[in-house]
Amino acid sequence: MPEIASQGRAAAGVSPQCRFLLVSSPKGGSGKSVLSRHILVSAAQSGVRAIGLDFDRQQTLAKWSVRRARTREAFPDFADTTVESVALQDWRGALKRAEGYELAVMDTPPSVEDHLPAIDALAEAADLILIPAVCTQDDIESVVPWVKALNGKGFKCSVVLNRANRRTTSYVRMRGLLVKAGAVCPTELPQLEDIHVPSIKGLTLLDYKQSRGIAPFEEIWAYLRREVQL
């Protein structure tokens, strides 16, 4: 565990056993909740005891989890996931909810500037901060300074390019700017038109074995496990 994460957790009185992933971006709609729920399903399918902590008042992740529980009543073969709604104001209490789990995935609202002390505390407790970024000028303009600020504080972070189209010159340019700013996850998420469809039932692409969208999420999961030594 990075020393800084260990200090952050000790300050909050949280056990060092659990790995914490913070999914954060200054930009709205960049894929934080999509990424969070796919990671939770990957964990469940791998037998890793994980909890999602939904810090967003919109409760996108928590509502998805409620729909999943309903679906599982009829189809219990879908992997079981746990999500709790938590408040940024009570970040200490939220971290403690992860007690007894091997992994906590923390989904956060955008506009990090409005919640800096809480986001900073979560970043300090995190083993890794995942920053999804859509390959547009607007996203990159917000994400590059955010990555630099987090790195400057000694936090470990990695950008996950989302809705990426490798064939475009804008992708190549944006990726280049991000690589110069900090770590970039080697696997990006392509534009997946049907990604929102399984969410209606609380599912993800990973719940459908034939889905063409599975591979990048499996690779990102393998990458994360290695990065946080899970």
Ligand X SMILES: Nc1ncnc2c1ncn2[C@@H]1O[C@H](COP(=O)(O)OP(=O)(O)OP(=O)(O)O)[C@@H](O)[C@H]1O
* Binding window for ligand X (CB under 6 A); candidates: 71-79, 96-104, 184-192, 201-209: 184-192
Least distance (Å) between residue 111 CB and Mg ion: 12
Number of residues forming the site for ligand X (CB under 6 A): 18
SS3 of 69-128: HHHHHHCCCCCCCCEEECCHHHHHHHHHCCCCCCEEEEECCCCHHHHHHHHHHHHHHCCE
Q: Which is nearer to Mg ion, 27 or 32 (CB)?
A: 32
For residue 77, what are the contacts with CB-CB under 8 A and spacing of at least 6? none
| 32: contact with ligand X by CB under 6 A | yes
Q: Which is nearer to ligand X, 192 or 214 (CB)?
A: 192
CA 45 from centroid of its chain's CA atoms:
17
| 226: contact with ligand X by CB under 6 A | no
Residue 139: which of 223, 31, 55, 217 has the closest Cα? 31
Using an 8 Å Cβ cutoff, are 87 and 119 in contact?
A: no
Distance, in Å, from the CA atom of 113 to the CA atom of 86, rounded to the nearest integer, reads: 19
Residue nearest to Mg ion (CB): 33
Residue identified by tokens 């590059």 is: 144
Residue 198, binding choice from ligand X, Mg ion, none, Cβ under 5 to 8 Å by partner class: none
Residue identified by tokens 């957790």 is: 9
Number of residues forming the site for Mg ion (CB under 5 A): 3
Q: Scanning residues 42 to 101, which ones bind Mg ion (CB under 5 A)?
A: 60
Least distance (Å) between residue 224 CB and Mg ion: 18
Q: Please identify which residue in 42, 162, 187, 204 interacts with ligand X, judged by CB under 6 A.
A: 162
Least distance (Å) between residue 229 CB and ligand X: 26
Least distance (Å) between residue 200 CB and Mg ion: 16
Q: Which is nearer to ligand X, 162 or 182 (CB)?
A: 162
Q: Scanning residues 196 to 215, which ones bind ligand X (CB under 6 A)?
A: 196
Q: DSSP for 158-192?
A: EEEEESB-TTSHHHHHHHHHHHHHS-B-SS-PBP-
Residue 163, binding choice from Mg ion, ligand X, none, Cβ under 5 to 8 Å by partner class: ligand X
Q: Which is nearer to ligand X, 1 or 192 (CB)?
A: 192
Query: DSSP letter at 80?
Result: P
Residues that bind ligand X (CB under 6 A): 28-34, 56, 60, 109-110, 162-163, 189, 191-192, 195-196
